[in-house]
Amino acid sequence: MIDKELLEILACPACKAPVTLEGERIACTHSGCGLRYPIREGIPVMLVEEAERPKKNG
Ligand SMILES: [Zn+2]
């Protein structure tokens, strides 16, 4: 489980926006970015290469 204090110090490496917990992933809160980072063994993997990109509209 990821605690809130850890989430508060994390930032999206792509756009530097704050992140939030979304299910079992860390999600960037920036609407234009929206990358989702995996959590492995309780440790957020804040790497752009590992992130899942949102589906683009259109
Ligand atoms: Zn971002």
Domains, in order of start, for the chain: 4-50 (2.20.25)
User: How much is the pTM?
Assistant: 0.87
- CA–centroid distance, 41 to ligand 1, in Å, is 22
Predicted local distance difference test score (pLDDT) of residue 54: 84
Predicted local distance difference test score (pLDDT) of residue 55: 78
pLDDT digits (tens, 9 = 90+) for 2-57: 888 999 999 999 999 999 999 999 999 999 999 999 999 999 999 999 999 987 66
Burial grade of 40 (CB within 10 A; 0-12, 13-18, 19 or more): exposed
More confident call, 58 vs 46:
46
- CA–centroid distance, 42 to ligand 1, in Å, is 20
* Residues with CB in 5 Å of ion ligand 1: 12, 14-15, 17, 28, 30, 33
Q: Which helix (H) or strand (E) holds 7?
A: helix 4-9
- CA–centroid distance, 21 to ligand 1, in Å, is 13
| pLDDT higher than threshold 60 for residue 58 | no
